[in-house]
Structures are given as structure tokens and as C-alpha cells.
Amino acid sequence: MTEATFTFRVDEALKAEFTQAAKAKDRTGAQLLRDFMRDFVRRQHEADEYDAWFRQQVQIGIDEADAGKLIPAEEVEAHFAARRLELRRRLEESK
């Protein structure tokens, strides 16, 4: 892996506090910054993957609705009313 230098400006007080905090963790500022960068990139990839999955799920729903594959509102309401009733029953039993 080739390495590159990353240069940026930061407030002197922040730099001093960061350096002190890094030393307290037995790390250098550069080590922590690399860790932070890796974590940021990993989280960004995860967010991008989730966004792609979510968009795909929405498109599937749109396509199914366009094809007429819908569940009547009454059926959905009855299903969740039954689930609420079952949950209330279980809560009463656990008292």
C-alpha cells in the first residue's frame, strides 16, 4: 500500500488537546486520525449499502402496487388489531 501525506489546518488549542488525549491512550494523533478515517469510510459504505437496499425495497413496493398486488386496508387493520389484542393478553398474563 502506498502512503500519502494528508495536511490540514487546525486550531492550535485543539491540536494540543488532541495530542494529549492520544498520548493518554498510548496512541499518536496520526494513528487515531487513520482509525477515524477508516471508521468514517466504513460507516459511509454501510450507509450507501443500506440506502441502495432501501431504494430497492421501495421500488419493489411501487412495482407491486402498479401491478395491483395490494392488500385491502380492512385486512391490514384486522391483522394488526389481532396482534394488539394478543399483545395485551400476554401483558395481562405476565402481571
* pLDDT of amino acid 65: 95
Query: 1 lies in a domain?
Result: no
Query: 25 lies in a domain?
Result: yes
Sign of CA dihedral 55, 59, 65, 69: negative
Task: Write the CB contacts of 32 (distance below 8 Å, at least 6 apart in sequence).
Answer: 18, 22, 25
Percent of the chain's residues with pLDDT above 90: 96
In terms of residue numbers, what domain contains 38?
A: 12-69
Residue range 46-71, pLDDT digits in tens: 999 999 999 999 999 999 999 999 99
Query: 74 lies in a domain?
Result: no
What Cα–Cα distance (Å) separates residue 45 from each residue in 37, 40, 50?
12, 9, 9
Mean predicted confidence (pLDDT) in 58-86:
97
**pLDDT classification of 1: cutoffs 50, 70, 90:** confident
Phi-psi region of 9 (alpha: psi -120 to 50; beta: other; left: phi over 0): beta
| Cα dihedral 34/39/45/47 (nearest 10) | -150
Query: 42 lies in a domain?
Result: yes
**pLDDT classification of 79: cutoffs 50, 70, 90:** very high
Number of domains into which the chain is organized: 1
